[in-house]
Structures are given as structure tokens and as C-alpha cells.
Amino acid sequence: MKKDGGAILVLSGPSGAGKSSLINTVAEAIGPFYFSISTTTRPMREGEIDGVHYHFVDEATFKQEIEEEYFLEYAIVHGNYYGTSIKPVKQALGEGKLVIFDIDVQGHDAVQHRMGDITTSAFITTPTLSELERRLTARATDAQAVILNRIDMAKREIQRMSEYDYIIINDDLDEAAEVLVSVARAARLKVPTLMINEFVQQWEAN
């Protein structure tokens, strides 16, 4: 049973769990993929590049794009808007690529609702809350109030971990990367329900 299009892999987890590091580590091992770049209203951090890390826009522009149905999903996180443009996602799927999302649990809900038939999901987390707190503090990119907000969000997100297909505990980067490669390969093999139904019909007719 050969798939014609691509597949979607949703990665979620607390800020500071190491999602970006994992994606960078496995990039060469998972085959052709498109990493969906989110649009956001949050301020650009030092070292970030517009169009590489995020598409940075103001709130008025973001709300206009919501009205124009520009986004596959969007959410408000830590007081800022984040959204995923649908056009490049559809293009990448048509090219047979694995589309990778780094989005929160709200975004996961939206993608599952609209494209769950070809979506596989993994929740990435630190082994403990204290380790997450240590990493957020050590990276020194956020004020203490922001860190506390991220910790509160992480406590809420972890309660929804069971909604994901796979759990990746990012304690050792190499081990976690090995698991993520396996998950990405499994995601490519997921067969849409329509194709399964067509196969069953052909199987019964011959």
C-alpha cells in the first residue's frame, strides 16, 4: 500500500524541553522534511532571524491574517499569538515530505481536528519539573516572571501528555534523538483512512 502524499509529525512539550535541539540533531537522519515556521507576535530574541526561526509580525497583522483564514492553527501562548500558515504545509505534503510542527497542545488539537488522518504526535519533556526549571534558568533568555509563566504552562501541558502517540523523555540528547528518528519513520508510514478503505474494497473484490 503506497502513499501518494506526505505526513505530519506534531512535536509538543514545555519550553526548555529541548525540542529545537532534537530536531536539529535528527535533521539528516529522517529524510526529506519541511519544518513549519510559525508566525508570532512575540518580540524577536537576540540571535533570531525573521523567516528562519519565526515570521515576526505585529498583532494587527496577525489578526488580519486570522480573518483571511491564513492559518492552519493559531493560539495565544504567554500573551503572544502563534500560528501556522497552511499554504506551505499543503505544498510540502503534496511533495511527499514529512511536515514537522513544533506547537503547543492547543495547536496539536487544531491539527488533529483538520488533518488527523495523516498526523502522528510526540510529546517531548524533561525527566522532571526541577530539571525543566534548571534549563529555563540556565539559558538566561527570559526574565524571572516569564520563566515562572513557562513553568506554570508546563504543569498544565504535562497533564495532556496522554493525548499524544509517543512520549520522548529528553534526558540524554542522543538517546532522545534515536527515539525521535524512529517516531519520524513511523509517521511516514501512517496510512490515511480513505486509502485503507479503498484497499479493503479492492481486497474483497479480488
Q: What is the pLDDT of residues 184-197, one digit of tens each?
A: 999 999 988 888 99
CA distances from 193 to 38, 66, 91, 115, 189 (A): 28, 30, 21, 11, 13
3-state secondary structure (DSSP) of residue 206? coil
- Element containing residue 82 per DSSP (H, E): strand 80-85
Query: What pTM was computed for the model?
Result: 0.83
- Element containing residue 112 per DSSP (H, E): helix 105-115
- In this prediction, residue 2 carries a pLDDT of 63
Q: Residue 26 in contact with residue 184, Cβ under 8 Å?
A: yes
- In this prediction, residue 3 carries a pLDDT of 65
- For 7-205, CATH gives 3.40.50.300
CA nearest 169: which of 119, 110, 196, 129? 129
Q: What is the pLDDT of residues 33-57, one digit of tens each?
A: 999 988 999 998 888 898 888 889 9
Residue spans of the domains in the chain: they are 7-205
Confidence of residue 4 (pLDDT cuts 50, 70, 90): low
Q: What is the pLDDT of residues 135-177, one digit of tens each?
A: 999 887 778 888 999 999 999 999 999 999 999 999 999 999 9
Q: Residue 98 in contact with residue 9, Cβ under 8 Å?
A: yes
Taking each helix axis as running N to C, give the angle between helix 129-138 and helix 144-157, from 0 to 180 degrees, rounded to the nearest 10.
150
Longest Cα–Cα distance in the chain: 66
- In this prediction, residue 72 carries a pLDDT of 86
What is the mean predicted confidence (pLDDT) over 26-33?
Answer: 93
Q: What is the pLDDT of residues 62-108, one digit of tens each?
A: 999 999 988 988 888 878 999 888 888 989 999 999 999 998 898 89
**Percent of the chain at pLDDT above 90?**
64
- In this prediction, residue 47 carries a pLDDT of 86
Residue 129 has pLDDT above 70, yes or no: yes
CA nearest 142: which of 41, 42, 64? 42
Give the integer Cα–Cα distance in Å for 83 and 67: 13
